[in-house]
Structure formats: structure tokens, C-alpha cells
Structure 1
């Protein structure tokens, strides 16, 4: 009979506590999605639970402010889900968008800038700085 990884994680005391906390967070997340106003459901999420306080991460300040206004109602609703909720702490924590590129665009260098970099590079002794400047010059886009 196949026993999944949860079976083994539940057997170890420390891992069992982590698994119980993870299950609680999942339960609170689902409850939050069910009770939060429609406009906030996708702009905030349950991040943690500590000593009766639910920590919610909001995508921006406006969402955080609205959740703070609704915190007593949300706290009461989340308590009905089984977890003691004495309060809500809201933090602004924008989510990373996977499709959003974090790489910078390549900026073209003028012929003058390339000339200055080349002459500077030639004057440097062999080493990491010279190598980095050589690589920069090789990859540099030129202004046409």
C-alpha cells in the first residue's frame, strides 16, 4: 500500500507541527477567500498565523487600508472557521508576477562612450575589472 509523503511527515514530531500549521494556513486561506469582499479576494492572501493573529499580505496600500477597515468583521468571520482569531495584521507585500520580466533592457552606447571604455580598458592591468569591461564592450549595443 502506497503511503504518501504526508504520512512520513506526520510521524516526525517537528514535521508534524509544520504540517499542522500548513493545514491551518490552507484552511484560513480558503475561509478568507470565502468571506472577503470580491474586490479583495485576489489582491490579498493569508500569509501566516501567530498566537491568534492572522497575518494578511495585501498587494498594495489601498487594499491593505480596506482590509484594516474590515478587520473586525473579517476576524469574526475567520473565527467561525474554527481557528481562534483575536486580530488581523495587514502588511503590504506585492506578489511577484511570474510573467513579469525583471531583466533590464539593453541601453545602446554612443561611439564616444565605447571609445572611452576601450581606452580605459587598454590602460588597465589584467584582472577582474578589465575582464568585466571587455565583456561589457563585447555585449554593448551601439547607437546607430
Structure 2
């Protein structure tokens, strides 16, 4: 019911002369972002968001420098595609704005990834075949940490039952 109240309030504000310019700009930004998602390479578009649009200059915020660098390579074709869609974009500025979204939206959490049983077995086999080296030491250390994490969880789970 709260969402309905908010939508009613925003709908009423949209009709007031004082807020029409704000809402029309927000609508333009939304439409431009949807257009960007359609025309940009999907693997890049999902890691970016439109930052703003003013006087023909569109700002795109990327998750990290690597995404920004790849996106900069596509700017000329993006400009042509925006023009073809009827948007008067004269320049695209790419910025890096890490953590602009909730990290959970990308599946990133504070928990460390866990290696499954098949992965543990494969890593163990690899470690046994390798000669003594920094790689072998690193794999053995990883396996040890994974085993300790599993045994720690099992004990804590049995303590709570």
C-alpha cells in the first residue's frame, strides 16, 4: 500500500509546474540509460550506469577502470548509435565510480567463496603432482584454509543443534 501512496504523490508532483522540468529530465535520463543498455556491448552495459546529461554531454559511470577503458574504445560507435536513435549526444564522458551500486546486486558479499568437493579433489591432485614450488605451496595453503573453514562450520552447526 505504501508504494501506491508514493506513486500517487509522485504522479501529483509530476503535474505541478514547479516539478515538470525535474521529472522531464529524469525521464530523459531513464530513456537514455535504456538506450545505452541496448546499444552498448552487454558485458559492459551491465557494469555501467548513466551519470548525467547536460548540453549534449552524456556521462557514463563504470564499475572499474578496466570496464571504463573498454567502454572508451566504443565511444565513437556509441555516439553514432545514439544519433541514430534520435538523441543529441555530442560527447560521452566515461568515469569510474566504484561501488555506485549495492555490491549484493553483483553477487558480491562479505563471505569468502567456497570451493566445492570436486574442486578440492582436483586441487589436491594437482598439488600432489607439482614439484616443490611457490604454486604448490599456495595451493596447499588454499586447501588448508578451505578445510579449516569447513570443519569450523561443521562444529558451529553441531553446537547450535
**TM-score normalised according to structure 2 size:** 0.55
Aligned to 2:41: 37
Count of residue pairs brought into register by the alignment: 100
SS in 1 for 2:12: helix
1:48-105 CA distances to partner (integer Å, 9 max, x unpaired)? 111111100000111111111111111121233332100101110013435445xxxx
How big is the shift at 1:6? 4.1
Mark the structure with the bigger radius of gyration: 1
Aligned to 1:54: 58
1:98/1:27 Cα in 2 relative to 1: closer, same or farther (>3 Å)? same
Q: Which gives a bigger RCO, structure 1 or 2 (Cα 8 Å, sep 6+)?
A: 1
Unaligned residue ranges in structure 1 (runs of 5+) = 102-144
Aligned with 2:102 (options 84, 97, 102): 97
Aligned structure 1 segments of 4 or more residues deviating by more than 6 angstroms = none
Aligned to 2:16: 12
CA RMSD of aligned residues (A): 2.1
Unaligned residue ranges in structure 2 (runs of 5+) = 1-6, 111-161
